[in-house]
Structure 1
Amino acid sequence: MDELEKVERLREKANVSYEEAREALKEANGDLLDAMVILEKQGKVKAPAQEQVTTSYEQKREYTDVVKTVASSEEASGTEPFGVKFKRFMKKCWRYLSVNFLSVTKKDKENGMEKEVFKMPLWGVALIALAAWHVMIPVVIISLFFGIRYDFIGENNMDPANKVMNKAADVTDSIKDEFNKPE
């Protein structure tokens, strides 16, 4: 590269006049990089911004969690792997079954108040239902005739299930009344 090309290049990069570029190159013995350093020291060229590198971790607002960003974009676009969807579904199910309970009550004959016999998390009820559904269903129906009541309680809205259980209890009460009615 001849002297004119070097002066032209330095002038473009440093945004200085031909004369300043030629002087800096002359002082740097024709080295473009040294000429640029000389111009920086003279204050004719703005030094590049300093970059800071560290190994310490700081949470900054402008940083984004790539894993969360990818997961949320996959979730939004529906491209999530089946295993991730299944895992999330199972967590929701476990949470639901752990924070809600089946309460079994019986009306006390002496004061007419309902007394809780026992309370079981829904995961326990689900296990019993899976393992012994053929025994559980008749036991529940027969117990309704003996004044046992079932209520679902917990964090979630259990009104629909409780309406069904109350209706079943009302039906058994009406059957008992019909049976006990004198002729």
Structure 2
Amino acid sequence: MVTLQQVEELRKYANITFNEAKEALEETNGDILQAIINLEKKGRIKAPKDGGFYSSKDSYENSQNSDDIGNVHQEFYDESGTSFSEILNKIISFSKRAFDKGNRNNFEVIKDGKRIMSIPVTILVILIIFTFWITIPIMIIGLFMGYRYAFTGPELGKETVNRAMDSVSSAAENLKKEFKGDKNND
């Protein structure tokens, strides 16, 4: 049953006549959203400017094969109309790019100008995520023992990144010198 409120709501939204709104709602048994979709398909109203997504294929198949539940295909969408599989594909694509960049760039440990160790950034990130209570203290202790850290590679081998790493190493060296100086004065 179509109510007067539904007809008025559709009429205001779609900017159509009362009779057009009533007919559209009667075709869809009072479903305003389906009425809007049908009006868009017929060209009576324009689709939203910023896009949108709808599909009546599944609802048509469901009405034809209501007894056959095994053939029903349903996709989940977020507010922007993006399906779950599209979101999952974006996450997987981002992870692949990050993994590739992590493997192209290296984290180096340097002592007295000689490279002691070089590992891919991906391994460093995994170590920090899963064993941060061991990795971070070891890196801090290494700073006070005269080790320096640097990044090499196309994305992280930039001068600004390594300058920041050098300033941390210099700060640790200055703190170590201050501590030794205070200890000698006592």
TM-score if structure 1 supplies the norm length?
Answer: 0.50
2:94 is aligned to 89
Give the distance between the partners of 2:164 and 2:104, measured in 1 at CA: 20
1:170-181 counterparts in 2 under 5 A? 170-181=170-181
Give SS of 2:178's match: helix
Change (3 A) 1:175 1:103: same
1:126 partnered with 2:131: no
Unaligned runs of 5+ in 1: 1-76, 108-113
Alignment correspondent of 1:151 = 150
Mark the structure with the bigger radius of gyration: 1
Deviations 1:113-166 (A, max 9, x none): x01101000111112112210111111111101110100111114444323321
**2:152 alignment partner, SS class:** strand
**Residues 87, 147 of structure 1: alpha-carbon distance in 2 compared, 3 angstrom cutoff:** same
Q: What is the aligned counterpart of 2:107 among 102, 105, 108? A: 102
Distance 1:95 1:169 in 2: 28
- d(CA) in 2 for partners of 1:86 and 1:119? 28
**Which structure 2 residues correspond to residues 73-88 of structure 1 after superposition, within 5 A?**
79=82, 81-88=86-93
- How many residues align structurally? 101
1:167 aligned partner: 167
Q: Which runs of 5+ in 2 are unaligned?
A: 1-79
Aligned Cα RMSD in Å? 2.1
Kept after mapping to 1: 8 A contact 2:108/2:119: yes
Which one-letter code corresponds to 1:138 in the other structure? P
Residues 98 and 176 of structure 1, relative CA distance in 2, 3 Å threshold: same
2:149 is paired with a residue whose SS is: strand
Q: Distance in 1 between matches of 2:102 and 2:90?
A: 18
The 5-angstrom pairing of residues 2-151 of structure 1 reads 79=82, 81-107=86-112, 114-151=113-150
Q: CA deviation at 1:180?
A: 2.5
Q: Give the match's secondary structure for 2:89.
A: helix
TM-score w.r.t. length of structure 2: 0.49
Q: Distance in 1 between matches of 2:96 and 2:154?
A: 16
Letter in 2 for 1:144: L
**Helix, strand or coil: the match of 2:155?**
coil
